[in-house]
Chain A
Amino acid sequence: GESVGLHLPTLSVQEGDNSIINCAYSNSASDYFIWYKQESGKGPQFIIDIRSNMDKRQGQRVTVLLNKTVKHLSLQIAATQPGDSAVYFCAEKRRSSASKIIFGSGTRLSIRP
Chain B
Amino acid sequence: DGGITQSPKYLFRKEGQNVTLSCEQNLNHDAMYWYRQDPGQGLRLIYYSQIVNDFQKGDIAEGYSVSREKKESFPLTVTSAQKNPTAFYLCASSGDRGLDGYTFGSGTRLTVV
Contact = CB atoms under 8 A, between A and B. Distances in A.
B101 interface: yes
B99 A98 contact: yes
| Size bracket of the B interface | 20 to 34
A101 interface: yes
A89 B42 contact: yes
A100 interface: yes
Contacts of A98: 31, 50, 97-99
B63 to A, nearest CB: 20
A49 B90 CA distance: 20
Contacts, number: 50
Interface residues of A, number: 21
Nearest to B90: A43
B108 to A, nearest CB: 10
B107 A45 contact: no
Contact of A46 (B43, B88, B101): B101
Interface in A26-71: 32, 34, 36, 41-46, 49
B53 interface: no
A101 B103 CA distance: 12
A105 interface: yes
Contact of B104 (A43, A95, A106): A43
A23 to B, nearest CB: 12
B45 interface: yes
Interface of B: 6, 31, 33, 41-43, 45, 48, 50, 58, 88, 90, 92, 97-107, 109
16 contacts: A32-B100, A36-B104, A41-B109, A43-B90, A43-B104, A43-B106, A44-B43, A46-B101, A49-B101, A98-B31, A98-B50, A98-B98, A100-B58, A103-B42, A105-B42, A106-B42
